Amino acid sequence: MGNFDNAAKVGKQMIFKFIKERMKEKRITQFNLSEIIEINESTLIRNFKGDTEMPLATYLKICGALEIRPYLVAKEDDDDDDNEMNYMHFN
């Protein structure tokens, strides 16, 4: 098995960057988002900073609140070779 720590770190950074951009588009603050998904704002901030791990349920709630599709696409099924996620190497 390979070391996946770096890929996980890069992946989280990409996902959180996308979420924050989406929040700006929809004019939703961290406080607003925390109210919508019913978690403490300080918990959400710690999740975004990487101080604490974000639970999958929280991520899925955020996707719902921001109208983001949270699905995964197998690499062999991805027709978009320029997709930024393809540049993450898991080895």
Q: In the chain, what are the domains?
A: 5-74 (1.10.260.40)
Mean per-residue pLDDT, 7-34: 94
> What are 72-81's pLDDT values in tens digits?
767 676 555 5
pLDDT score at 60: 94
Question: What are the φ and ψ backbone dihedral angles of 8, each rounded to 5 degrees?
Answer: -65, -40
pLDDT score at 57: 95
pLDDT score at 6: 86
Cβ distance 84 to 73 under 8 Å? Answer: no
> What are 26-72's pLDDT values in tens digits?
999 999 999 999 999 999 999 999 999 999 999 999 999 999 988 87
Cα–Cα–Cα angle for 35, 23, 68, rounded to 5 degrees? 95
Structure token pair of residue 42: 């300080």
Question: Which residue from 55, 57, 66 is spatially nearest to 33, judged by alpha carbons?
Answer: 66
Residue 44 burial class via C-beta count within 10 angstroms: exposed 0-12, middle 13-18, buried 19 and up? buried
